[in-house]
Amino acid sequence: MVSVPVGMTIAGSDSGGGAGIEADLKTFEALGVWGTAAIVAVTAQNTHGVQAFETVSVDLVRRQITSVLVDIGVQAVKTGMLASAEIVVAVAEALGGTGPLVVDPVFVSKHGNTLLADDAVEAMRSFLLPLAAVVTPNIPEAEALTGLTITTRDDMVAAAELLSHTGATTILLKGGHLEGDQSPDLVFTAGSATWLEGERIPGRHTHGTGCVLSAAITAELAKGMDPPDACLAGKRFVERAIAAGVELGGGIGPVNPGWERLVG
């Protein structure tokens, strides 16, 4: 018998396997965490984009979460694609104060497909962010959540501070959309800003980057790491996953959460 920490992902399914539930579960497995899941939506998706998706009923989303919580239990939870305001509220209600929560506010896919309804942004800000141990927006997502325009590092700090007022404990604001050859991420917690420096990794394998990052943070939280250290560990993990991207399809290729098997 083996005892392992348990993580949960609440997100959409990616039929191409590069992002969403599939990427999250691969990341959990790579980091020694038992993965459980509540599927919010099913997508028809490949390296070229999202061709179609359908959401799961709000009641079934809620039932998936409670089914796991009442029997198996979880040490940490993450959210990804939540699709609608109704689902955002249902997820927040179902989770309550269950373990540390990582909120990856997925608004659009890597290919530019909209994955969150406009009215869900306020629901996320009001109901889900106050429960979060870590929030992991990229710059466009942070702009939507704060109403600020972000083009510099100072702008990132201002946005992170504003997001912290929602009640979220730690903000990891990803700087990949800044101009230049660097990809700095900002960790903002308890009023203090720390920069996680990193070079921009060239190549087309970036599909699933945000999912793998937030899943890696969730896995480290499930194993007992504190949020700022989990953010650093997650960034280093996803850097390796991007560098080991998988040669699949003709569009934006997926990152590889199983990179360690290639070097272990």
Q: What is the pLDDT of residues 60-114, one digit of tens each?
A: 999 999 999 999 999 999 999 998 999 999 999 999 888 899 999 987 655 555 5
Query: Which pair of structure tokens corresponds to residue 191?
Result: 């009023």
Percent of the chain with pLDDT over 90: 73
Q: Write out the catalytic residue numbers.
A: 174, 206, 208-211
Nearest to 60 by CA among 41, 85, 34: 41
Mean pLDDT for the stretch of residues 229-249: 93
Nearest to 211 by CA among 71, 30, 52: 30
Least confident of 8-17, 151-160, 180-189, 225-234: 180-189
Percent of the chain with pLDDT over 70: 94
Mean pLDDT for the stretch of residues 40-50: 92
Helix (DSSP H) and strand (DSSP E) numbers for the chain? 9, 11
Mean pLDDT for the stretch of residues 194-212: 84
Query: Which pair of structure tokens corresponds to residue 231?
Result: 């953010």
So where are the chain's domains?
Answer: 6-145+206-248
Q: Please tell me the predicted confidence (pLDDT) of residue 105.
A: 93
CATH topology of domain 6-145+206-248: UDP-N-acetylmuramoyl-L-alanine:D-glutamate ligase (3.40.1190)
Give the residue ranges of DSSP H helices in 114-182.
120-123, 139-146, 153-164
| 78 in Cβ contact with 7 (< 8 Å) | yes
Nearest to 134 by CA among 92, 181, 167: 167
- pLDDT tens digits, residue range 157-202? 999 999 999 999 999 999 877 776 777 899 999 999 999 987 777 6
∠ CA 23-28-29, rounded to 5°: 100
pTM for this predicted structure: 0.94
Mean pLDDT taken over the chain: 91
Least confident of 23-27, 165-169, 204-208: 204-208
